[in-house]
Amino acid sequence: MDIVKDRVALISGINDGIGRAIAVRFAEKGAKVVIIGDNQKNLNELASGIKASGGNIEQITVEGKNSGEIHKTVGAVMDRFGRIDILINNAENSSAHGICNMTDDDWHQSLSDNLDPMFFLCREVIPVMREKKYGRVINISDLNYIGWPGKANYSAAKSAIFGFTRSLALEVAKDNITVNCVAKGDIRCADMTDEDVEKAAARLPVKKLGTPEDVALAVGFFASDTSPYATGQTLFVCGGKSMYFSMSI
């Protein structure tokens, strides 16, 4: 089933494997994909790969924490396509410090990096979706929102995504717009050694790490018309880790 065929999908945060996997899957399923970010090299590489496979993709270089640039970016997408059906907020910065070593800048930067792009994009895109009486917003968080020692700033930001998702879902429910969250667990990264993978997998009920594609599948569910009655929800893609999270630290 072409779950997002011909939908216009705006995706932020493609510097990690998850953002790239989402963009690739959506393009494969026939979406008109627009990727945005501040790393031109990464944007070029991803766009080139998708185009080579026959996917429909465009790229825009933008500073996600600049509300003026976000406003111009959404305007450019509207000029090109006339609508935005799907918004995926994946921008993040996972840097963290123990509370006693955390500076004012550490605290504010973590909140800004993880929350500002999501807020600015939603503020610009929701009116567009309201006009069309259709929209799917998916915010990417992770298990750190439950709490993690030494990451108070990062966990606070990820927890805020949970509350933001629920509040926005209630605000726009009458407009046929759904807002949901996908909270990722331990996902295999390209720079992990086999030893790292084996150690992390041993702590999980399923005894294996997830992949970026696992997260993309969950995002695809919320982004499609197969989930019109699901809103304000958080789906854990974590191999069962959320069920005994405190035991796996």
Which 8-state DSSP code applies to residue 16? S
Asked if residues 78 and 128 have their Cβ atoms less than 8 Å apart, the reply is yes
Distance CA 148, CA 65 (A): 25
Q: Which residues have a Cβ under 8 Å from the Cβ of 225 and sit 6 or more positions away? A: 3
Distance CA 48, CA 121 (A): 25
Distance CA 38, CA 13 (A): 9
User: Which amino acid, 75?
Assistant: G
In the set 134, 145, 154, 229, the catalytic residue is 154
Active site residue 229: no
Distance CA 76, CA 68 (A): 13
* Residues designated as active site: 154
